[in-house]
């Protein structure tokens, strides 16, 4: 009998780190504003009480990228995303922006190494520059870090 591949064992951590991307409905440019950003921060800060920790993030006008670590014994990734979208939609409705606000679903990728996190973050943080919104990524006011999410190598 062939030896089993050990590849999957490194992805099943209690608190995996996910790289998440979600887009607005029909790519509406509704996210990059101070009110939405403030709600993002409030939601993210409360997340620790529910088992979700947002690390680095970038809110673009029509999508967001974030790194999140989720304790699956307390909340599923899908339920967390649903809650995040609902929270931001409430603010968007208060700004008289009619629903729907979101494309269905989201893109997620489980990070397997600290290098993967660093490489993705370096690429993502430059999104506002590539989009021509700022000359330097540090000028983009709709990005940051809520919790210092860290990749830990699983015990073997």
Extents of the domains making up the chain:
12-145
Would the pLDDT of 6 be above 60? no
Would the pLDDT of 49 be above 80? yes
CB 88 within 8 Å of CB 82: no
Nearest to 66 by CA among 53, 78, 82: 53
Mean pLDDT across the stretch 57-63? Answer: 97
Would the pLDDT of 21 be above 80? yes
CATH architecture for residues 12-145: 2-Layer Sandwich (3.30)
pLDDT, tens digit, 9 for 90 and up, residues 94-109: 999 999 999 999 999 9
Q: Are strands 17-23 and 143-145 parallel, antiparallel or unpaired?
A: unpaired
State the distance between the two ends of the chain, measured CA to CA, in whole angstroms.
Answer: 23
Q: Pick the residue with more confidence: 12 or 19?
A: 19
Mean pLDDT across the stretch 116-141? Answer: 93
pLDDT number for residue 118: 86
Q: Pick the residue with more confidence: 37 or 75?
A: 37
Distance separating alpha carbons of residues 143 and 147, to the nearest angstrom: 13
């Amino acid at each position: 009998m062939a030896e089993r591949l050990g590849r999957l064992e490194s992805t099943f951590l209690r608190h995996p780190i996910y790289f998440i991307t979600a887009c607005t409905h029909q790519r509406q440019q509704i996210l990059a504003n101070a009110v939405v950003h403030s709600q993002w921060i409030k939601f993210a800060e409360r997340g620790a009480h529910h088992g979700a920790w947002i690390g680095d993030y970038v809110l673009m006008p029509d999508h967001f990228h974030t790194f999140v670590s989720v304790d699956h014994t307390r909340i599923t990734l899908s339920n967390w995303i649903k809650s995040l979208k609902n929270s931001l939609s409430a603010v968007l409705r208060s700004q008289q922006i009619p629903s729907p606000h979101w494309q269905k679903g989201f893109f997620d990728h489980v990070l397997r190494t600290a290098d993967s996190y660093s490489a993705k973050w370096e690429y993502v943080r430059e999104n506002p520059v590539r989009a021509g919104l700022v000359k330097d990524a540090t000028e983009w006011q709709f990005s940051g870090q809520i919790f210092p999410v860290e990749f830990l190598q699983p015990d073997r």
